[in-house]
Structure 1
């Protein structure tokens, strides 16, 4: 946090000419993410474990196949509209950092710090930690087919995959995006297999699950709201490319295109996968299955059923990789604004990657992976993300009045972000109602972050003894990781 006032003493000045030449004479991150990689990042993050493991959340609440499909479509449209709003924001303010940058532009430092702190403490490390554990569960499932997976190998494997993915991101951005492309293709192949097999069964006349599809539907406000929340989670991840705008080639063109292509593809795949599941499994079987894709595979793939858990693990690793790639840029930008320690705002002058930011993510993730309360903390993640959406859509509306002449290559009707802001606020209220303990704990963590911000960020004239210690830490990390601040403040701020 602003525990780090900028100090010349903390900066390494001896950078080799050949290293500067390799980066074009300026230490900053390169534009090397094209449209195809952008689509792969978004699709790879959105399609994680949800469609394979728990597409039953909506069905469980609305109680009918017909209404579940209606909710899948409605949730997809809602998230697609949210993505369109983010496309306006991303092309209007083409800087890495996503909603943090937009909220800061509209409401200033305090509001943007709250956004950053929620991502830093609740969303990023908790999400990656949970996905790492899930990766381990499904990769080890073929080894322990008829019993619970031991805790020790599960945690070790989760730590290993997390460390590997962070290492790839530290070494080379292109490697990270190529990994994301390969994983995204793998998960789409897995889903394509499910869809083909399911439609084969439907073609053979297995359509009992679709008869009287709206019978016994629960259309009460509570049921619809909870079902919407499940769908909201399944589609989450569409906003992450906005964290990488500064590394995106031609962002004004490629950002909205990547979002449109990705959301269209994801909605279509989700609907087809749900139809395919119901071509093999009855609604009752789906509701009783802890992992629908695994149950589906056990009834259709015979001796090859072990393949599906492995494909699910690969899918989950894609979400982990995309989250680390995107969120590391957010923390990098936040540190440049004195909202996190100074060393987090530095990049490796040989690799041109935000190595300290990535290693902070790794450290926090490994801590959470060793917590027995990891899934309890995951329930707080929904509260955090919905809260950020409220602030983001509110900032979009406010900027229309605050800066009406700001160039907007994409401009949506102002009613759209206003309505989405209200819906997101309703989701926050619902979370307090459904999960009061988790929500108030999350609120307490945010309040604690605000206290730290006031001490670190607002306390500019620290005693020399304290500032010297902070400078020593920054300098030590610079030498250890071979990292330096970007050559100019505007490179750091991406302005």
Structure 2
């Protein structure tokens, strides 16, 4: 890891001698990522990532645990506020440390290389590829459902279509950042139209007097800590994705203004849409009908949309596709930054000198995601992903608190009361503990994978006296990949060349 032969100097010199043109080159001739993400694009990216399958499926999980409509609404709002507060904390970190890489950069600055690598490894192995594999399979299932309305969808067809959509989205991200953000804008509009359709139909039913589901709405509520915690976990998953824009800070136009604005606008939109969508669901479906539904939006469409009910599974598939696109866009920059700091093979820190996109990072994500698509139990892996994400949040909020004492004079365009990240850190710790209690097998397996990452770090990064034949082989492989993908180091001063 962090390896690159001196033979790559050939490509590095070409990169700095004016072989590329455009706004991506600074006056010193460096090739770097472009600032092309506006406030509108930022809002579209965050909303596009958050509004995935969650609102179309998760209402069942919350209602099932708290057992009442009223308390489920309370949990949706509380979960939204919690995630919004987390997003605000990320906004402080993102404007104080305006570098792409998000949580990896913050943890590294606070605690050093090993905790930062653990964060990078969790994202690399558990969060990003597992999430993309699961979402691509969900996309495939929803898109094929209208074709196979009365029989089981062929497994081979599901996996092939999932692989195709994954490769297509990775290709779009490889070709042009503007294409990726434009795709995200189109998909975000599509999913908001889907939610808007649900909301309009629900309001129509309420106007007709269909309000039985809201009578005695807190009756039989389960206020136990376990029920509320499990419901909170479901809502937490539905709102996940708000942190991904911090991975792209280097590419945001005027990040000090646009990053916090994008987070604030998008989180407000999502909370309102989620709450109103749940009201719409219950205007049409009884709580019992919702609990029997594997995908509440599809059941809703079956009950209200008649011959055009097939549209809803397609809209859900498009929604999931948007989450996949935003995930690939954000995480590719995270791994790119990690490699730039010498914690991954240096080829991942390279970008295409014509298109200015991190193609090696994107291709690694694609390969890992395709491997996870072959799993016979993808939902088992998703539960491990939840453990990984909660663990990363603990580290991020702890880093935010520690940086207040370590670097008190760090410029902070946004400065929050320190009690806020302390509170969120404690809540995240509780979530991790509850994950061990509720899902011990998945949690301990994930813990083992994290421990394996530490071993790889010691071998790949800390072991400096590697054999010469190994270094030569890695150098030749790096040059070969550079030639095939036409990639170069964008900023040699920031790369570990050992």
- TM interval, shorter chain, is over 0.9
In the alignment, the residues of structure 1 paired with residue 132 and residue 61 of structure 2 have an alpha-carbon distance, to the nearest angstrom, of 21
Structure 2 counterpart SS, 1:19: coil
Q: Comparing 110-119 with 45-54, which one deviates more in the overlay?
A: 45-54
In the alignment, the residues of structure 2 paired with residue 361 and residue 407 of structure 1 have an alpha-carbon distance, to the nearest angstrom, of 34
- The 8 Å contact of residues 41 and 180 in structure 1, kept in 2 or not, is answered as yes
In the alignment, the residues of structure 2 paired with residue 261 and residue 442 of structure 1 have an alpha-carbon distance, to the nearest angstrom, of 34
Aligned twin of 2:406: 402
Please state if 1:116 is matched with 2:117.
Answer: no
Aligned twin of 1:7: 5
Runs of 4+ in 1 over 3 A off after TM superposition: 13-18, 20-23
1:185-200 matched pairs, under 5 angstroms: 185-200=189-204
- The 8 Å contact of residues 393 and 428 in structure 2, kept in 1 or not, is answered as yes
- The 8 Å contact of residues 20 and 26 in structure 1, kept in 2 or not, is answered as no
1:377-392 matched pairs, under 5 angstroms: 377-392=381-396
Structure 1 counterpart SS, 2:368: helix
In the alignment, the residues of structure 1 paired with residue 90 and residue 23 of structure 2 have an alpha-carbon distance, to the nearest angstrom, of 33
Aligned twin of 1:262: 266
- The 8 Å contact of residues 44 and 183 in structure 1, kept in 2 or not, is answered as yes
Q: 2:211 aligns with which of 201, 207, 215?
A: 207
Deviation at 1:461, TM superposition (A): 1.9
- The 8 Å contact of residues 54 and 290 in structure 1, kept in 2 or not, is answered as no
Deviations 1:328-347 (A, max 9, x none): 00000001111111100000
Q: 1:292 aligns with which of 293, 296, 312?
A: 296
Q: 1:169 aligns with which of 168, 173, 197?
A: 173
Q: 1:310 aligns with which of 287, 301, 314?
A: 314
In the alignment, the residues of structure 2 paired with residue 17 and residue 256 of structure 1 have an alpha-carbon distance, to the nearest angstrom, of 35
Q: Which runs of 5+ in 1 are unaligned?
A: none
- The 8 Å contact of residues 139 and 162 in structure 2, kept in 1 or not, is answered as yes
Deviation at 1:53, TM superposition (A): 2.1
In the alignment, the residues of structure 1 paired with residue 24 and residue 6 of structure 2 have an alpha-carbon distance, to the nearest angstrom, of 22
Aligned twin of 2:184: 180
Please state if 1:45 is matched with 2:43.
Answer: no
CA RMSD of aligned residues (A): 1.1
Please report the TM-score for the alignment, with normalisation by the length of structure 1. 0.98
1:71-220 matched pairs, under 5 angstroms: 71-220=75-224
Deviation at 1:471, TM superposition (A): 0.5
In the alignment, the residues of structure 2 paired with residue 134 and residue 353 of structure 1 have an alpha-carbon distance, to the nearest angstrom, of 27
Deviation at 1:259, TM superposition (A): 0.3
Deviations 1:225-276 (A, max 9, x none): 0000001100000000000000000000000000000000000000000000
Structure 1 counterpart SS, 2:36: coil
Deviation at 1:21, TM superposition (A): 5.1
Aligned twin of 2:33: 29
Deviations 1:346-399 (A, max 9, x none): 000000000000000000000011111322111101100000000000000000
- The 8 Å contact of residues 170 and 328 in structure 2, kept in 1 or not, is answered as yes
In the alignment, the residues of structure 1 paired with residue 219 and residue 364 of structure 2 have an alpha-carbon distance, to the nearest angstrom, of 51
Aligned twin of 1:486: 490
Deviation at 1:23, TM superposition (A): 3.3
Deviations 1:282-322 (A, max 9, x none): 00000000110000001111000000000000000000000
Describe the shift of the 1:487–1:220 C-alpha distance in structure 2 as closer, same or farther (beyond 3 A). closer
- The 8 Å contact of residues 195 and 272 in structure 1, kept in 2 or not, is answered as yes
In the alignment, the residues of structure 2 paired with residue 217 and residue 22 of structure 1 have an alpha-carbon distance, to the nearest angstrom, of 58
Please state if 1:237 is matched with 2:238.
Answer: no
Q: Which runs of 5+ in 2 are unaligned?
A: none
In the alignment, the residues of structure 1 paired with residue 44 and residue 248 of structure 2 have an alpha-carbon distance, to the nearest angstrom, of 13
Deviations 1:199-238 (A, max 9, x none): 1001100000000000000000100100000011000000
In the alignment, the residues of structure 1 paired with residue 21 and residue 345 of structure 2 have an alpha-carbon distance, to the nearest angstrom, of 25
Deviation at 1:26, TM superposition (A): 2.0
Deviations 1:133-191 (A, max 9, x none): 00000000000001111101100000000000000000000000000000000000000
Deviations 1:86-113 (A, max 9, x none): 0000000000000000000000000000
Aligned twin of 1:19: 20
